[in-house]
Amino acid sequence: WITSTYYRNDLPKWVQDFNSTRPAKYWDREWKGAQGAVLGSTSHRKGKDGSEAGFYEVIGSTSFGNDYEFEFAKELMVYENIGRGPSTDLLSISLSPNDILGHQVGPDSPEMQQMALDLDRELADFFNFLGHQIGLANVWIALSADHGVSSLPDAVKKLRIPAANLDARKLEAEINSALTAKFSSGHPAAYVKLDYPLAWLDQDAFAAAHVHEHDAEVAVGEAMKQGGARDYYTKSQLAEGEVPNTPLGRKYLNSYSPEGSWFVMGVPDIYTVGPGKGTDHTSPYNYDTHVPLAVYGLPFQPGTYRTSVEPVDLAPTIASLLGINAPTHSVGRVLTEALAPAPASGFMGYGIKGSGFGPEGKPHP
């Protein structure tokens, strides 16, 4: 575990002790399913580059990785007195093993099913810890995800649905070759770095060819369409808000960031992913954008709600319950349908005011 010198120069002693002692117990173990079948191993092995594989690479794709994170979270709660002071504390836990394993074996595999069962047990244990540590009456819990994932293309093909694992490196070379022919014939250049379906443009390479942003991004987008993309959105296009007023257009508009270099967001074909094996996300389709959102705590009304909801709704909802303003750039709404009614007597002010309905967006890191 690390931190940034922006916050402090040294890790607390308890974190240093954790780093030096706890990882060892997760090595050289078998990860088994409910029937005893071995689903994975954390034995020492070589990585892709031939060197010794690290903790993240080996343990990260098993349920032991989630155990490790929750173990750290418990230590954090104790040593930093989380939830015991006069002010509200926020603890955010990102469970990366689900993502790592999902990329490797897809969402329909026995390994992912077992990880879901293991996570259910791990969450129950952590919630029980919270109950003993500070009392669940003093805790609000939210559970969600930043994206879904495509099924393995090979699994989809068995259902007679078109699907493909692309060779992203080969496609990148083809796009750069086409751009070279268009802008600098006889002088090959690496105009694009492809993380399919996202293309990052080298501004210096285009500047050397005297090509401006708009023309460069359109040329890259058209080359991506030749490579199989259904459509594309450019950074300059998104900056001007020039997208169709459709659910698809709004998803890409919500994914715009002014930071970084020029880019093009390709719209991939359904169940088409960049890696040559495994699977991926970063598409606008429901299997990629449909994620859970569950909340727990005294302010919430128990039930299942079938209204439109997005992870971005968490921020204004929590802010409203805390009696503070929502973040300035928040585009979510307060989930009023999930809030418990105010007591018949006494005052319980949620401070809800017109946050409005934000456009549907694509969850991303």
Q: How far apart are CA 111 and CA 101, in angstroms?
A: 8
Predicted pLDDT of residue 279: 95
3-class DSSP state of 308: coil
Looking at the fold, whether 168 and 130 belong to one and the same domain comes out as: no
Q: Would 115 be classed as within a structural domain?
A: yes
Into how many domains does the chain fold?
3
Q: Would 302 be classed as within a structural domain?
A: no
Q: How far apart are CA 94 and CA 317, in angstroms?
A: 20
Q: Phi/psi of residue 131, each to 5°?
A: -60, -40
Looking at the fold, whether 194 and 240 belong to one and the same domain comes out as: yes
Predicted pLDDT of residue 203: 96
Give me the domain span that covers residue 264: 164-273
Predicted pLDDT of residue 344: 61
Largest CA distance in the chain: 80
Q: Would 92 be classed as within a structural domain?
A: yes
pLDDT values of the chain reduced to their tens digit, one per residue, 365 residues:
999 999 999 999 999 999 999 999 999 999 999 899 999 999 999 988 889 999 999 999 999 999 999 999 999 999 999 999 999 999 999 999 999 999 999 999 999 999 999 999 999 999 999 999 999 999 999 999 999 999 999 999 999 999 999 999 999 999 999 999 999 999 999 999 999 999 999 999 999 999 999 999 999 999 999 999 999 999 999 999 999 999 999 999 999 999 999 999 999 999 999 999 999 999 999 999 999 999 999 999 999 998 889 999 999 999 999 999 999 999 899 999 999 987 765 444 443 333 332 333 333 43
Looking at the fold, whether 112 and 176 belong to one and the same domain comes out as: no
Looking at the fold, whether 266 and 183 belong to one and the same domain comes out as: yes
Looking at the fold, whether 85 and 194 belong to one and the same domain comes out as: no
Q: Would 86 be classed as within a structural domain?
A: yes
Supply the CATH number for residue 190's domain: 3.30.1360.150
Looking at the fold, whether 95 and 204 belong to one and the same domain comes out as: no
Q: Would 288 be classed as within a structural domain?
A: no
Q: What is the pTM of this model?
A: 0.87
| Of the residues 224, 255, 273, the one at which a domain ends | 273
Looking at the fold, whether 236 and 331 belong to one and the same domain comes out as: no
Predicted pLDDT of residue 262: 97
Looking at the fold, whether 249 and 326 belong to one and the same domain comes out as: no
Q: Would 50 be classed as within a structural domain?
A: yes
The residue whose two tokens read 């810890």 is 129
CA distances from 122 to 62, 93, 352 (A): 13, 13, 34
Q: Would 305 be classed as within a structural domain?
A: no
Nearest to 188 by CA among 199, 175, 197: 175
Using an 8 Å Cβ cutoff, are 110 and 33 in contact? yes
Looking at the fold, whether 170 and 127 belong to one and the same domain comes out as: no
Q: Would 1 be classed as within a structural domain?
A: no
Looking at the fold, whether 26 and 128 belong to one and the same domain comes out as: yes
| Of the residues 217, 244, 273, the one at which a domain ends | 273
Looking at the fold, whether 261 and 325 belong to one and the same domain comes out as: no
| Of the residues 273, 299, 326, the one at which a domain ends | 273
Looking at the fold, whether 206 and 134 belong to one and the same domain comes out as: no
Using an 8 Å Cβ cutoff, are 261 and 202 in contact? yes
